[in-house]
Structure 1
Amino acid sequence: MKAKIRKLMTVVDETLNEQGRDVSPPVRRAAAIAVIANPFAGTYQEDLSELIEVGEELGGLLAERAVAALAIPGDKVESYGKAAAVGENGELEHAAAILHPKLGAPFRNVLGKGAALIPSSKKRGGLGVVLDIPLGHKDAAFVRSHFDGMEVRVTDAPRANEIVVAVAVTTGGRPLPRVGGLKVSEIKGEDGLR
């Protein structure tokens, strides 16, 4: 593996009740996180292919860990998202290199599908910086009930020369959604939008 991983972490969030109403079935969200060395920290590097390859490796590894934490088959995942934070000696472009060119394909392979774009966020921060992982339905971007997010952090990362990379998956959308839009039962899943 090209990624020099210092730490792996998995977080599961389960909502059973919202505003005094039971959520049935409960909505479960899981994030898998890797803290890795940034090989380009503190220097400008034109060719970011090393980080692109790291993103490809992490896409499958983190997706497998997140899905396993939900204890469901990959094809039962409804929403997904990804995020990265670089330490102070990194560039946002380092996070982009990991998240965009190649992380998505192995992530989708674990899920069996994923027609919609994978929502993402990037930031720079210090130890314990909060990652807001945006979430959207994996097969249809217009499903408003699944516009959501999951907040995670690693208390001792990223160090100045590290990158924190996370993917998140869910068993459903927001608890008790009621703002309209395309319903899960109406998804065609052909164009990534509807």
Structure 2
Amino acid sequence: MLARRSSSKVTDVAPGHADVASFVEAAGQLADHSGLRPWRVIEIRGDARDILGAALAKADGAHGKDAEKFRAKAHRAPLVLAVVASFKPSHKVPHWEQEAVASGVAHGLSLLLDDEGWGVFWRSGELTRTAPVRAAHGLGKHEELLGWLYVGGLPDRGKKERPKGRIRVSEHLSSL
């Protein structure tokens, strides 16, 4: 985990469906109060990325060249994984905890993809939970989109990566 880095620029190669399925299976093995599995992942590849771009443009009210910018954003990687919190009825497990589980799956996926040598970065933003974006992803009444993992090959950077900045543990760890 100390070596993990977000890769905002990736190449046009991506893991296949079988690889993604194995990553999703592994990421789903996390702490999950009552075993609700309140999440799902949507693979977005090829021309389906145009649907994402159009939904983002519509949510923003963009037209013409401005709308094309959203299409280009959806094509930043050959594979986009939409991570969805899919809330389950429970008197024991509140929505915030179910969303935390879905977030854990997204982070686990990003770690697995990184560990397997794929470039990955997580995107979200103000348009994530808009009606056009919800509709494009086919979200149900009890679902919320958390964001997207953009996945592709790692470009040959030709130089050594600079180490990621470390946190100051004393600012984040205390004792009671």
Would you tell me which structure has more strand in proportion to its own residues? 1
Same fold (TM over 0.5): no
Where on the TM-score scale, by shorter chain, does this alignment land: which range?
0.3 to 0.5
TM-score, scaled relative to structure 1:
0.35
Say which one has the larger Rg.
2
More helix by share: 2
